[in-house]
Structure 1
Amino acid sequence: MEQIRLAVGELEQGNDEACISTLQTLLLQPRLSLFWRIHALALLAHSEDGWLEAKNYQIQAEMLWRLSRRLLARGVDDEFDRTLQINRGFLDQIAVMMVNEMPDELKGSQEEAETEIQQGSDGDNDSSDGDEGPGEGFDNGLSNESEDSCGERGDEDEFDHEGDEQEVEILEIRHG
């Protein structure tokens, strides 16, 4: 998707504000597929300077991923499973980044919140199946997948797998 490539280029050039603006504009598109919406939110988490703002984007991306995973049972649609696997790897990278960059003053409250959530949960963990972790050699969530197979929305199907097979180039995100 061209807007994602543009945003990554802006991020790599150190132009975080332009990256954020491009991604926020992209998210305003109501027909944006779940794959690209999750990816844009994760990129926003990556590019946002404020930790709490970045965490907000990360949480939104995680929620969409979990809803997407519940849309179809694993194994029903291999292409759908693969697109979720791509985003899972990217989200896992963002989660590690967020933990590493968490301000010290928030670490205690974060641990308390996680404990409270675990105690209040009924044991239903969306990502406990094991095959949803990052793929080998995963870099940033954009791999050699066609735009259609990555969930570019068709008129009648959120994950339209029919269409041309344009390759999406691998884009590296450098965080530093």
Structure 2
Amino acid sequence: MTPLAAIDSWRRRILPAVAMLFALVLVACSTGNQLGDGTTPVIKGKTPPPITVQALTGIPPDQAKALKEALALSAGQHDIGIIEGAVPAGTYTLSGKFRADMQAGAAQIAYTWELRDDNGVLIDTIAGSETAGPTTAKDAWAAVTPAILQQIAEATARSVAAKLSQMGFATRV
């Protein structure tokens, strides 16, 4: 083997190993998550308490059921659990009052939620309204669609998540 061939052989074997070692050193010196894309936020804080929906007044039963389901899905996207059934210790409560009115031929749904801690202490009041759209029905609730209930649920979940986050709970805001 000629000296030139020996150098070429050595270069083909050793150079890739040196390059790999150099790359590993660079990765080890960097910070952050090398596997993720960096877009997923890290949420820090206490685990949010489960929440049970208590009384819903002023809303028809079938729409109350649909609203609870929409609220459970929306709250879940903020890492908040809406539960039913047996209520474990530490569970917060959410109660809602609704009013449906006709204004200029359109149904207007106003709502107020009360978020209470596990001792029954009022933590936050969430108020809002949604326009359900034009209707000729005498009952404003006839104009309320699942999309309107979803909007109410999303706004409520965002407000609850923001309040719990202010209190040190790990929610997606």
TM-score, normalised to structure 1, is 0.23
Which one has the bigger helix percentage? 1
TM-score, normalised to structure 2, is 0.24
Which one has the bigger strand percentage? 2
